[in-house]
Amino acid sequence: MAVRPTGFDTTIAELVWRTRYRRTGEEGIEDTWRRVAKSIAAVEPADRDAWEARFYHALAGFRFLPGGRILAGAGASQRVTLFNCFVMGVVPDDMAGIFDALKEGALTLQQGGGVGYDFSTLRPAGLRAERIGGIASGPVSFMHIWDAMCATLRSTGARRGAMMGTLRCDHPDIEEFIDAKRDPRALRHFNVSVLVTDAFMDAVRRGGDWPLVFPLDGIRGANRHRYPEQVLRTDPATGREVPCAIVRRVDAGALWDRLMRAAYETAEPGVLFIDRINALNNLNHREHIIASNPCGEIPLPAYGACNLGSVNLVAFVRDAFTPQASLDLPGIAALVDTAVRMLDDVIDASPFPLPAQAAQARGSRRIGLGVTGLADALILLGLDYGSEAARALAAAAMRTLCHAAYRASVALARERGPFPFFDRDRFLAAPFVQALPQDLRAAIAAHGIRNSHLTAIAPTGTISLLADNVSSGIEPVFAFECRRLVRDPDNGEQWHELEDSALRRWREAGRAGPRPAFVDARRLDPESHLLMQAAVQPFVDQAISKTINVPENIPFEAFQGIYRRAYALGLKGCTTFRPNPVTGAVLEDAGMAHCCAVEPEYEAT
């Protein structure tokens, strides 16, 4: 197939570019790459032309795919953030603080950043507000206000908003939160996840009661006499163990069953294993992670930000569809060296909606470098996604990326200094850092490191379409030929015919007959999804956006076993999707009347 004049092989890629990323005067994707490379290189203290050329080379051929906010906003005339998403500050448990938090979220969404909030700090419904004599309405009621705010911004023509809302599994309003999205009209601008603790998983395993609690400091006056029982639990605002009042008790198994039933029937809430997330955080000595970004790949502290980019593995397959097919690991490592510097420069090139976000981003200098196109790369290499060989290849690719990223960050620290929050001994004591190669740990000890975190795997929905429809993130191919619902600039929606990149390449190569390794999501059992996620998790210092697609007829017992297995495998979270009438469809398989795949409710990546 001849290359289109704008630099694309597919109509959908050109459409995505024109509607999402093209700026006035740009005739093709190469112009977009030049704009982005020039804008990011402008913060380099020296040799800007040379770095612009290196950044452009990394982008060329869709080898490195920065997050959508970078592609859309770098060098643009509008003042927009280059960060995909933010976790916002702690929501205070008083009316003035709540609406201050709402305002901060509105300002962030207005500039193009998605937002994540933990609502566990808000007192449960039914508690009396001592100062004014009113009755607390609970966190879910305030989430509806956020949802209306996001809808209002969207109606003004602002970029489609994305929000994540979380609640701890021991909050007294957890049941209302779990069921909140059963109403197909409710909280449509939110993704929601339950913060599941190790103690709760143990209680589910053992059986028995599960106390629902709220910090004693938040229960004042006469309310304290209503709840005489106390227990030490985590303060959602600080992460410290504090005395909490036991508001009521529920059966742990029944609560787990309710969570699983909601996920089974509505695809939400997701589950974040929050104790594991905090324990494995490279900065666990100084910060408390309270929520994640809307797709879950970046768990963050208050005012933390997502600075994302993905290596397109398809671009590094050599001799595709032949016995000699291989993945160019040295080439990936060389690209990562440039990608890390580019994402580090984004921190200095980007405006921020709020000063607190700038302070957090510049203090930790977090970046989130990952991969996309894994499933298509496996097909080009002749490997079945569900095989042990495929998992070994994925692990090798992510190990190469991770170690190259940490080495590049050490080199940047020698040149520019470590990130301001760096504490050498405490950083080296973090579990993820302890698992790095010894020579790399020695280099960190000697020179520091420029970025506190370096790896994450995003869903890459839109940027994978931009790269001529390679498979997204580490997901299997949903369907090799399908129709996808795509939003246009006027907020309309149209279905577009899609052909997966690997299938297109197979056909262009003149291949015929059986197609080895062409495995789609419906041919994989949940265990294959989980094992792939577990294979790459050891090389991801943040988290992985991964959806386990399951058939509509999966038995409920087997469905909830997926989450138990995810916990047992050491994963940081779990999200499933079973076709249901609540969420509707984004994708339709050409061979099926109706089938769905979970897609992020925003267009940032």
Most confident of the ranges 353-362, 494-503, 577-586: 353-362
pLDDT above 70 as % of the chain = 92
- The residue ranges of every structural domain in the chain are 60-84+301-605, 89-100+112-270+286-291
User: Of 295, 574, 595, 596, which residue is the catalytic one?
Assistant: 295
Closest CA to 193 of 590, 545, 488: 545
Its sign, for the CA torsion 252, 212, 87, 335, is: negative
Per-residue confidence band for 157, with pLDDT thresholds at 50, 70 and 90: low
- Convert the pLDDT of each residue in 283-294 to its tens digit: 999 999 999 999
- Nearest CA to 595 out of 488, 470, 479, 474 is that of 479
* Residue 545, CA distances (Å) to 192, 271, 457 in order: 14, 12, 6
For 17-40, how does the pLDDT look when each residue is reduced to its tens digit (9 = 90+)? Answer: 998 899 999 999 999 999 999 999
Output the CATH code of domain 60-84+301-605. Answer: 3.20.70.20
Rounded Cα–Cα distance for residues 268 and 165 (Å): 11
Neighbours of 242 (CB within 10 A): 17
Name which of 6-15, 95-104, 134-143 the model is least confident about: 6-15
Give tens-digit pLDDT for 330-346: 999 999 999 999 999 99
Q: State yes or no: is 574 an active-site residue.
A: no
Q: What is the DSSP letter of 135?
A: B
Instruction: State the pLDDT confidence band at 132, using cuts at 50, 70 and 90.
Output: low
User: Which residue type is seen at 64?
Assistant: F
Selection from 90, 118, 103, 113 nearest residue 352 by Cα = 113
Tell me the pLDDT tens digit for each residue of 522-543.
Answer: 889 999 999 999 999 999 999 9
Q: Give the pLDDT band (50/70/90) at residue 306.
A: very high
Read off the DSSP letter of residue 124.
P
Q: Please tell me the predicted confidence (pLDDT) of residue 46.
A: 96
Phi-psi region of 356 (alpha: psi -120 to 50; beta: other; left: phi over 0): alpha
Contact 34, 45 (CB under 8 A): no
In this prediction, residue 588 carries a pLDDT of 57
pLDDT per residue over 79-93, tens digit each? 889 999 999 999 999
Query: Can you tell me the distance from the alpha carbon of 587 to that of 591, in angstroms, rounded to the nearest whole number?
Result: 12
Listed range (224-238, 373-387, 406-420, 436-450) with the worst mean pLDDT: 224-238
Q: What angle do CA 293, 140, 352 make, to 5 degrees?
A: 35
Pinpoint the alpha helices (H) of 383-468.
Answer: 388-416, 424-428, 431-434, 438-447, 461-466
Residue 525: its pLDDT value, please?
95
Average pLDDT of the chain?
91
pLDDT tier for residue 586 given thresholds of 50, 70 and 90 = low
Phi, then psi, of 477 in degrees rounded to 5: -65, 130
Compute CA 334 distance to the chain's CA centroid, rounded to the nearest angstrom. 25
pLDDT digits (tens, 9 = 90+) for 44-72: 999 999 999 999 999 999 999 999 999 99
Q: Which is catalytic among the residues 52, 104, 287, 297?
A: 297
- Position 593 pLDDT exceeds 60: no
Selected residue with higher pLDDT from 585 and 384: 384
Report the run of H or E that residue 358 belongs to, with start and end: helix 355-364
**Distance separating alpha carbons of residues 525 and 505, to the nearest angstrom:** 26
Q: Is 337:404 a contact under the CB 8 Å cutoff?
A: yes
pLDDT at 2 over 80: no
Confidence of residue 235 (pLDDT cuts 50, 70, 90): very high
Distance of CA 26 to the CA centre of its chain: 30
Confidence (pLDDT) at 97:
96
pLDDT for res 494: 79
For residue 259, give Cα distances in angstroms to 119, 246, 463, 562, 600: 17, 21, 32, 13, 21
Does 295 participate in catalysis according to the annotation?
yes
The set of residues, in sequence order, having a beta carbon less than 8 Å from that of 525 and lying 6+ positions away, is: 386
The rounded distance, in Å, linking the Cα atoms of 376 and 393 is 13
Instruction: Give the dihedral sign, CA 312/313/316/320.
Output: negative
- Under the banding of pLDDT at 50, 70 and 90, the label for residue 387 is very high
CA angle 309, 315, 320 (to 5 degrees): 150
Of the residues 293, 312, 451, 549, which is catalytic? 293
- Using the predicted structure, report yes or no on whether residue 602 has a pLDDT greater than 70: no
312 is catalytic: no
Which one has a higher pLDDT value, 200 or 495?
A: 200
pLDDT score, position 127:
85
42 CB burial (10 A radius; 0-12, 13-18, 19+): middle
The predicted model gives 253-267 an average pLDDT of 97
Across residues 3-8, what is the average pLDDT?
A: 66
Question: What does the alpha-carbon distance between residue 153 and residue 158 come to, in Å, rounded to a whole number?
Answer: 6
Residue 583's pLDDT is 65
Pairing of strands 85-87, 587-589: unpaired
